[in-house]
Amino acid sequence: METYRIDPIQDHRWEQFLQTHPGASVFHTPAWLNALRGTYGYEPAVFTTSAPTHPIRSGLAFCRVQSWLTGSRLVSVPFADHCQPLFNASEDGRSWTSFLPRLVEQEHCDYVEVRLLAPEALEPTQNRFARSATFLHHALDLRPPLPALFDRLHKSCFQRRIRRAEKEGLTYAEGTSDSLLRQFYSLLVLTRRRHGVPPQPLAWFRNLRDCFGDAIKIVVASKNSRPIASMLTLRYKTTVVYKYGCSDAAFHKFGAMPFLFWQTIQRAKMDGAAEFDLGRSDVGDWGLIAFNAECAAKSSGEFSLSPYRIAQLLAGQCCISHGPKNYSSCAGIGLGECCQPLPDLDVLRLINQVTALETQVDEVKPVIE
């Protein structure tokens, strides 16, 4: 299979292809990839079977991520909840699966990570690939009438709290102004601190705003002019994506997050959106899973893939990890059997924390408290 490498930001064929492919998402777009490059320096690339003079018919989007701790890797794509390979109807996913190990060698990286919504697309049991992490993906169908959507919300966790918010006189604001961005970011810092992780840099959100333009929206709920909860959403085609949420825990009793969700659902539906993508949750994150269930979202399985050869410390078995140097969680083997001698326990904790922060697996979204 002959493949070509293109720059998805400069090559306008990529955006044209995304507009026609049903599997394209906001995480494939030049706007998302450009924000990643502008903030973190991750260089994007798309590999396609389409020649430079032909329209693009398929593609896999990646960013190269360099780290002194986790090595060099190709990620499809950083900070995305999912990024499905985009094939045409005549292509076989097995050909692409055979290509990926060669890509690892060609690009001189340690491994490749693909974040799939439909694992069967790449024949994951073939060609030295293994499950490296498991998530649930959540989405709310916005096509039913608004009264039906409200009735499907959990009565105590959503409906009552929405009514409480309205009774308390919470106000709603939306836009992309510097003022709203500062309010959102202040609440994000509070939320990340509450969960024990540092916030993303403010530059990331500024770049998202600049790259997405009208397709990004910051919404803020306030009590007596004080911001108490906020959300950041992205719009692509007929899908609204809930990407970031944050709140002040001192005001949770007023139901600000359910209030924002309902406001967002109503406005998305009025704007013609057909789906509200609530992102992914770790299979062990019962709080976030319950939150999405209470929002009447449907869930489906998802997992990432990585080559077996990144887990050599397991003597051929698969490491349930996010990279080759995350030593803390191994499938069926105790730590003492994985590697000798073991690093200091504090060093292990630091490695795991930095790896998680680099891959941003733990996107913090507030649950109803």
Which domain CATH number covers 243? 3.40.630.30
Structural domain contains residue 366: no
**113 and 237 co-located in one domain:** no
pLDDT of residue 124: 55
pLDDT of residue 252: 95
**169 and 217 co-located in one domain:** yes
Structural domain contains residue 280: no
Nearest-5° Cα angle at 361, 123 to 129 = 20
**232 and 312 co-located in one domain:** no
pLDDT of residue 1: 75
Domain boundary (236, 256, 273) is at 273
pLDDT of residue 113: 85
**11 and 126 co-located in one domain:** yes
**31 and 62 co-located in one domain:** yes
Structural domain contains residue 151: yes
pLDDT of residue 287: 57
**158 and 264 co-located in one domain:** yes
DSSP secondary structure letters along 21-69: -TT--GGGSHHHHHHHHHHH-PEEEEEESS-TTS----BEEEEEEEETT
**98 and 58 co-located in one domain:** yes
- The number of domains in the chain is 2
pLDDT of residue 292: 55
pLDDT by 10-residue block (mean), the chain, 369 residues: 92 97 96 97 95 93 86 90 84 74 86 79 61 79 94 89 96 98 98 94 98 98 98 97 96 96 96 93 60 56 43 24 30 26 38 44 47
Q: Could you list the residue range(s) of the whole structural domain that residue 263 is in? A: 143-273
278/240 Cα distance (integer angstroms): 9
DSSP state of 14: H
Domain boundary (273, 290, 324) is at 273
**148 and 225 co-located in one domain:** yes
pLDDT of residue 356: 46
pLDDT of residue 258: 94
Strand order in the sheet with 171-175: 4-6, 43-48, 60-67, 71-76, 111-116, 298-307, 129-141, 275-282, 239-247, 226-236, 216-223, 171-175
**81 and 123 co-located in one domain:** yes
pLDDT of residue 136: 80
pLDDT of residue 231: 97
